[in-house]
Chain A
Amino acid sequence: MEQPRTDEDQQLVARTQDGNAGAFDQLVVKYTPRLYGLVYNMTSNHEDTNDLLQDIFSKAYKSIRGFRGKSSFYTWIHSIAVNMTLNFLKKRGRRFHLSLDDVDASIQNDKEFLEVTQTSSPVREADLSELQRRLNEAMMKLSDEHRAVVTMFHIQGMPHAEISKILNVSEGTVRSRLFYANRQLQNYLDEFRKNPVT
């Protein structure tokens, strides 16, 4: 996924810091879809995601005067989002209900979707919706930190370096978390492949 242009963000941030609330609105509009994907794939619940997103932007607006531009706005807002979501997940614990069965209908015509379903033997064998459900379940079995890394890397398409900046950990830590999470997901999905009916 393409990273937004930072110079444009810097201008909007500067205008917001000068008291132009409309500039912050532009940042909200720009980053909402992206942050929605991040938070939603970490929480697996639309209502929680909506509340969290509102809180994230509210916090960002309150603290934007303190933003000195040491990192890009992109990294800064993602750090706020990930930290707030991780805190929320810690408070929520394990009580959650999946609402991930609302895969958009447009996926059926997507090129990548067709490619996956037609070429990959395990996927072809399995019912796709069931596989998606299993995948979501497997994601939710990961720890919050591992799920955050998987979401940012696989779903959001961020590079390791960017993830390490957002999480404030080393790239090595990102890689090891990703490796462990991938192995966990493989185990869950292989189990499903062997016993597809269960």
Chain B
Amino acid sequence: MDEFDNNEIGRLLRLKRYEQPPPGYFENFLHEFHRRQRDELLRQPLWKIALGRAHDFMMSLNVARIASYPVAVTAVLLCAAVISLKVYQTTPAPNVARLSPAVPVQQAATEGGWSLAAPVSTRITVSQPRTHLSTHRAATPPRYVLDSMPVSYESSLRF
């Protein structure tokens, strides 16, 4: 046999099983492992250690078994109920239409005339072009606002 075949390679490689660490290595390995674990633990911040201990404590109480499927379902249902209650209880946003003033306040300034009723600061802003105002006025019928008194059925006292 002049060449190394698979079996030969296998037999040679099996000799590598005898390559061993220095004597006493396996005996000391566990001590070294414990020492490294302690060092690693000491390097951790305090909150992490506390968290780990709390986790261990919870695990010792078998929280995982307590928190079984029915409990999880109940928790989900409770959450859903609370959320839906909150959704229904929220007061709806005031549904009052923001009516533009029946008579545009710009009118006084734009049409050349002025009156004491017209606010002083009224101006046409860029965002509200005049063309829009005029077309709106043309499209909608004129509206009149009457001064009114609150209705009362009590007889007014007159002396």
Q: Which residues from chain A sit less than 8 Å from chain B, CB to CB?
A: 1, 19, 25, 28-29, 32-33, 36-37, 40-41, 46, 49-50, 53-54, 57-58, 61, 65, 100, 102-104, 106-107, 110, 112-113, 116, 120-123, 131-132, 135-136, 139, 150, 154-155, 157, 182, 185-186, 189-190, 193
Contacts and interface: CB of A to CB of B under 8 A. Distances in A.
B59 interface: yes
B59 A65 contact: yes
Shortest beta-carbon contacts, A-B, top 3: A154-B13, A107-B18, A189-B4
User: Per DSSP, are chain B's interface residues mostly helix, strand or loop, or mixed?
Assistant: helix
B13 A155 contact: yes
B24 to A, nearest CB: 13
Interface residues of B, number: 33
Contact of B5 (A25, A57, A186): A186
B113 interface: no
Contacts, number: 108
B13 to A, nearest CB: 4
B30 A25 contact: yes
Question: A100, A113, A154: which has the most chain B beta carbons within 10 Å?
Answer: A154
B48 interface: no
A155 B134 CA distance: 95
Nearest to B29: A32
B74 interface: no
B25 to A, nearest CB: 8
Given A54-B32, A57-B33, A120-B11, 18 more contacts: A19-B56, A28-B29, A65-B59, A102-B19, A102-B20, A103-B15, A103-B19, A104-B18, A110-B18, A112-B15, A116-B11, A122-B3, A132-B12, A135-B12, A150-B13, A154-B13, A155-B14, A190-B3
B33 A155 contact: no
A47 to B, nearest CB: 10
Contacts of B19: 37, 40-41, 100, 102-104
Contacts of A46: 21-22
A166 to B, nearest CB: 18
Nearest to A192: B4
10 contacts: A50-B21, A100-B19, A102-B19, A103-B15, A104-B20, A107-B18, A121-B2, A132-B12, A154-B9, A189-B4
